[in-house]
């Protein structure tokens, strides 16, 4: 019951306020699996296991894009999907545009920029593979397999404002230059908390995919 109430309030807060983003304070929310290879204050080198993500591509300013992208992804995981025969019939089902399988909420929500567009994504629960996961009804939602990958990550609190992101991205850029780490792709922003979380306890991350380290 708590999770249903939380998810309803979370969606409502995005729809009304267009806020930045998302994870419950509950400890049962699944997160991507990774190993910490190196730590320096609030910066880590992590190795992430392979994962499946649900991703949408949206245009507009960053804060508006992540709000629209989140709503599309939430629609998918809350039931607007086809139901694979590999999923147990006893699992929760929610009626939206059609009957579909409710997919467990995960954290964080990630955002990255590609040209003039933003990509917003959820990591799918590890219980699924590409054969068993329900498929999106909305063709704007893509399911993508992401290979295992090293990342340079800086973790910080506060609001997901442009100034806060820019300041910590500069710190991560400096660390990578000092340690000869080369980014293999675009920077990602990761947000873990619902909008009503006090800024000083929020968890935000900025991530760069990097080459294999020694």
Q: How many domains does the chain have?
A: 1
| C-beta separation of 112 from 118 below 8 A | yes
Full-model pTM:
0.76
| Beta-carbon contacts of residue 30 (< 8 Å; ≥ 6 apart) | 104, 106, 107, 123, 125, 126
Instruction: Compute the average pLDDT of residues 67-75.
Output: 89
What pLDDT is recorded for position 5?
37
What pLDDT is recorded for position 9?
40
Residues 89-124 pLDDT 10s: 222 222 223 345 666 667 788 889 877 789 999 888
Instruction: Compute the average pLDDT of residues 24-38.
Output: 75
Task: State the chain's mean pLDDT as an integer.
Answer: 79
Query: Vertex 73, ends 70 and 77: CA angle to 5°?
Result: 130
Share of the chain above pLDDT 90, in %: 47
pLDDT band at 78 (very low <50, low <70, confident <90, very high): confident
| C-beta separation of 74 from 12 below 8 A | no
Written as one string, the DSSP assignment of 98-147 is SEEEPPPPBS-EEEEEETTEEEEEEEPPTT--TTTSPPBSSTT-EEEEE-
Which residues are 120's β-sheet partners?
56, 111
Measured distance CA(172)–CA(185) in Å, rounded: 14
Q: What is the CATH number of the domain that holds 119?
A: 3.20.80.10
What is the domain range of residue 20? 2-210
Q: How many CB atoms lie under 10 A from the CB of residue 205?
A: 21
What pLDDT is recorded for position 213?
67
And the tokens for 65?
């894009």
């Amino acid at each position: 019951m708590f999770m249903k109430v939380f998810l309803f309030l979370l969606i409502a807060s995005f729809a009304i306020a267009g806020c930045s983003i998302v994870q419950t304070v509950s400890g049962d929310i699944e997160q991507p699996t990774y190993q910490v290879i190196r730590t320096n204050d609030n910066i880590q080198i992590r190795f992430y296991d392979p994962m499946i993500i649900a991703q949408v591509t949206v245009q507009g300013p960053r804060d508006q894009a992540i709000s629209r992208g989140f709503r599309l992804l939430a629609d998918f995981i809350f039931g607007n999907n086809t139901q694979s025969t590999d999923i147990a019939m006893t699992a929760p089902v929610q009626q939206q545009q059609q009957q579909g399988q409710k997919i467990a909420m995960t954290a964080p929500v990630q955002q990255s920029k590609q040209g003039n567009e933003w990509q917003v994504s959820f990591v799918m629960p590890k219980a699924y593979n590409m054969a068993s996961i329900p498929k999106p009804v909305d063709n704007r939602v893509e399911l993508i397999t992401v290979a295992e990958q090293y990342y340079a990550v800086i973790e910080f609190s506060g609001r997901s404002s442009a100034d806060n992101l820019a300041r910590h991205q500069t710190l991560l850029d400096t660390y990578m230059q000092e340690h000869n780490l080369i980014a293999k792709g675009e920077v990602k922003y990761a947000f873990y908390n619902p909008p009503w979380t006090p800024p000083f306890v929020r968890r935000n991350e900025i991530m760069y995919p990097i080459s294999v380290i020694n």
